[in-house]
Amino acid sequence: MIVECKSCAAANRLPASRTNEKAKCAACKATLLPLAHPIAVASSQDFDELVRDARTPVLVDFWAAWCGPCHAVAPELAKVAGRRAGAVIVAKVDTEALPEVAARFGIRSIPTMILFRDGHEATRVSGAMPAEAIEAQLSL
């Protein structure tokens, strides 16, 4: 998966299996982990690798650019990512860019958030809500 450095904005390739280890930006050497912000999933291969290989639970937000409630929930997911850094990875899947991933999980309304544990769907919730409700409903 690709992780953007918050210090210099450089793109860094990071295997999902190493998200619980130490990692530094190749360009500026700033610390990349733990992930305290949502990451964008660029391909179905990256999605599969992340869900399959991550050592921590993965919270995936299925969204689209035209969706108003998706824009409302985005800062709430950023709060979840910041508060749960190291304990959960928050990822975003654009359903317009990756319709095959959305179809695979039967996404019919957005935003829909699915929590994956050990490569399998654990629970899901749909609709915009505050960070506290997301955490409570998904048992984070």
Q: Which CATH number is 39's domain given?
A: 3.40.30.10
- Domain of 50 in residue numbering reads as 35-137
Distance CA 102, CA 97 (A): 10
| Mean pLDDT in order along the chain per 10 residues (140 residues) | 91 90 94 93 96 96 97 97 95 98 97 97 97 93
Per-residue pLDDT at 99: 98
- Listed residue (85, 71, 97) closest to 140, CA to CA: 85
Predicted confidence at residue 54, as pLDDT, reads 94
Determine, yes or no, domain membership for 55: yes
Structure tokens at 3: 């992780």
Cβ-contact 30, 6 below 8 angstroms? yes
Strand (E) positions, the chain? 2-4, 11-13, 39-40, 58-63, 89-94, 112-117, 120-126
**Predicted local confidence at residue 19, as pLDDT:** 87
Give a yes or no: residue 30 inside a domain: no
Is-above-0.85 flag for pTM? yes
List the catalytic residues: 67, 70
